Structure 1
Amino acid sequence: MNLIATTYKRVFIIQDKGQPVELADPERSLSPQAVLNFYANSYPLLTTAKVSEGQVRNDRIEYRFDSVMGTKG
């Protein structure tokens, strides 16, 4: 029996103005936290976000960057 190793594409998802935005993986060797830090320069809402555990969907691994800022009022 032959084993086949599969490498999944990583995708990072944020909610921007209520819409999901998929961000490409800038470098496979970066940890998900490092990718969050990389994109925080372009998306300031990521400065207070956390990384969800990756989930395999449609032959890719999806990580979500969820803001931990509360709403006032």
Structure 2
Amino acid sequence: MLLQTTLQRVFILKEKEQEIILDDPAPKWSVQAVLNFYSNNYPVLTTAKISRPVIKDDTVQYRFETVIGTKG
């Protein structure tokens, strides 16, 4: 018999050279919905991109990568 397991999702935000681990607020939500949810607390996420998922330590890790550009 084959058992199907779902890996826990972990969301990582790097802000000011520090990684912040964000819990999964609702496993049924899309990754974009999670990004939108956390953008209320972390305004920098409004322009963030979502990295490809990486499986590490029995979790699926998504990175919210902020793009801070300079004008000129």
TM-score (norm 1): 0.90
Match of 2:68 in 1: 69
1:24-39 matched pairs, under 5 angstroms: 24-39=23-38
**Count of residue pairs the alignment pairs up:** 72
Deviation at 1:4, TM superposition (A): 1.6
Instruction: Specify the code of the residue in structure 2 equivalent to 1:15.
Output: K
* SS of residue matched to 1:12: strand
Structure 1: unaligned runs, 5 residues or longer = none
Q: Deviations over 1:26-58 (max 9, x none)?
A: 001110111000000000110100111111101
Partners of 1:53 and 1:14 in 2: how far apart? Answer: 14
1:17-56 matched pairs, under 5 angstroms: 17-56=16-55
Match of 1:3 in 2: 2
* SS of residue matched to 1:46: helix
TM-score (norm 2): 0.91
Deviation at 1:21, TM superposition (A): 0.5
Over the matched positions of the two proteins, sequence identity in percent amounts to 53
